[in-house]
Amino acid sequence: MAKIPVVMAGITGKTGEAVGKVIHQASDLRLVGAIAARHAHEHLGNRWNDETLDLSIVSDIEELAALAYAVLVDFTEPESAAHRIQWAVSHRWDIVVGTTGFSLEHRQQIEKLVNEHQVGAALIANFSIGAWFLERVAVEAGRFFDVGEVIEGHHVSKRDRPSGTAKRMASLLAESWRRQPEDIPVHSIRLPGLVAHQTVIFGGEGQVLTFRHDVHDRSAYGNGVVQAIRKVHEFRGRVVSDLGEVLKTSS
């Protein structure tokens, strides 16, 4: 079976590099493009000390127009990602996006384009299995507790605040409680030494229930991203935001 071609945007960032290396090591995937504006024209194999990887970094996705098809994996920031996503979808590439901070308008535009071009899209705030499991147990706990708050902590360079993971958690709780997402308190922390952390705290008569998930190494996102790459083509015409949909269709 032919390997799935993958283009990685943000490949020299901390998360992009960690995820990119997992993609490169997957036997059924092939890294065919690397995008990072600040490191354009550098040799990716040299950066990773990997002699098996013969790939030059480009600054813009349009430089990869010769590729007939690839899955675009994007871990950057929303402003530049919006352009890449539009280009990729218009060329009928499937997309796997871990970039967060998109406005509602941007998300609606992406959904419209994905439907028009009938490609698959996974826009998932957090690709770690632990974060997805935290969502499940927190929603279940929300059946029995009707008061709760979300605390999220990230590294100081994370631009969006609160995080996409925390926003999604607040939305899930709000849906369960038939409230508005903005009614669920979300507290954000940006400190050196943090990577990605989320806590959901429920309060009840004489008791407190706490769920917490910590990412200490960005490689935690790799397995979820790889699973999404393998399955995203099956989501033709729609945008999947729940990692559970990827995991449920995985063999």
Angle between helices 222-231 and 14-25 (to 10 degrees): 60
Residue 213 pairs with which residues in a beta bridge? 198
Catalytically active residues are 154, 158
Helix, strand or coil, per DSSP, at residue 213: strand
Terminal alpha carbon distance of the chain: 16
Task: Tell me, rounded to whole angstroms, the distance of Cα 31 from its chain centroid.
Answer: 18
Tell me which residue has tokens 């229930």.
209
CA distance 44 to 34: 8
Here the tokens at position 142 are 């929300």
